[in-house]
């Protein structure tokens, strides 16, 4: 699917990986619906991109708000061809702490946002994509989810985060098979350690320490590199049902 002329729904689109994806798609002739929290930078980002973007404030775990965001995309631009799920949260806590077991609500919240939120958005977006006229290759849409290398190499304290991202990896192939008859492809990117706002407040020495474990390139990943892979997935019609690690050959140690 060519990016030019497409409409994309990008969750977490106001910053980090999502913002880089929005900017790349718009720079290549696409248009974007930026789905992010009301207090995010989404409105300002959309304004800076002009007619190519619109902000749709929403919580990815809300059925009504996600349906509203997809509806806004359809009414503003006509439909949705691409869905990129970048919204997510992290939580670092051991299963048992000095105060007792990890509070279940922490585990539940991470699963709700990272896994259930991703499915909530993609199921609604796919329903809209199914109404599209297929292109010459029979494609109606492309969905790109975001997992993490923690899905495979979870560290101490990452039980909730790893479980949520492992779930995203696990649902990739069955959803790709579910949607194959509709001409909708589904892939997942599993980033390694990226220099995103999540690490923005971390002191430079700590960032440098994180980079020491990355074989090559010997640095943190850049949001633009994630966005570039999204673009390649969209335009390569034979990529489907796959999870792609984007990590500089990193394999996370236990801590």
Helices 117-129 and 63-77 cross at an angle (nearest 10°) of: 30
Q: Is 161 a catalytic residue?
A: yes
Are 235 and 2 in contact by the 8 Å Cβ rule? The answer is yes
C-alpha to C-alpha distance for 17 and 224, rounded to whole angstroms: 7
C-alpha to C-alpha distance for 148 and 167, rounded to whole angstroms: 11
Task: Report the candidate in 12, 10, 3 with the shortest Cα–Cα distance to residue 194.
Answer: 12
Catalytic residue among 161, 179, 186, 252: 161
Which residues are within 8 A (CB) of 188 and not within 5 positions of it... i.e. 6 or more apart? 144, 145, 146, 147, 168, 169, 172, 242, 243, 244
Q: Kindly report the number of other CB atoms within 10 A of residue 137's CB atom.
A: 10
Are 68 and 58 in contact by the 8 Å Cβ rule? The answer is yes
Give catalytic residues, as residue numbers. 161
């Amino acid at each position: 699917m060519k990016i030019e002329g497409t409409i994309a729904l990008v969750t977490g689109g106001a910053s980090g990986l999502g913002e880089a994806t929005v900017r790349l798609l718009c720079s290549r002739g696409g248009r974007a619906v930026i789905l992010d929290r009301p207090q995010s930078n989404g409105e300002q980002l959309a304004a800076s991109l002009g007619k190519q973007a619109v902000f749709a404030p929403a919580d990815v775990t809300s059925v009504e708000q996600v349906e509203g965001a997809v509806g806004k995309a359809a009414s503003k631009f006509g439909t949705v061809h691409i869905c990129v799920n970048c919204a997510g949260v992290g939580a670092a806590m051991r299963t048992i702490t000095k105060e007792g077991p990890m509070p279940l609500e922490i585990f539940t919240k991470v699963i709700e946002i990272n896994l259930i939120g991703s499915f909530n958005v993609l199921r609604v977006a796919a329903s809209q994509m199914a109404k599209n006229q297929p292109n010459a290759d029979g494609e109606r849409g492309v969905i790109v989810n975001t997992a993490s290398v923690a899905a495979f190499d979870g560290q101490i304290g990452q039980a909730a985060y790893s479980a949520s991202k492992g779930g995203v990896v696990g649902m990739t192939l069955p959803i790709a098979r579910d949607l194959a008859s509709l001409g909708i492809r589904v892939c997942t990117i599993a980033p390694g350690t990226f220099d995103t706002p999540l690490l923005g407040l971390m002191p430079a020495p700590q960032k440098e320490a994180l980079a020491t474990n990355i074989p090559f390139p010997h640095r943190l990943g850049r949001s633009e590199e994630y966005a570039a892979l999204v673009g390649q997935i969209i335009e390569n019609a034979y990529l489907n049902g796959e999870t792609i690690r984007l990590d500089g050959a990193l394999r996370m140690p236990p801590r």
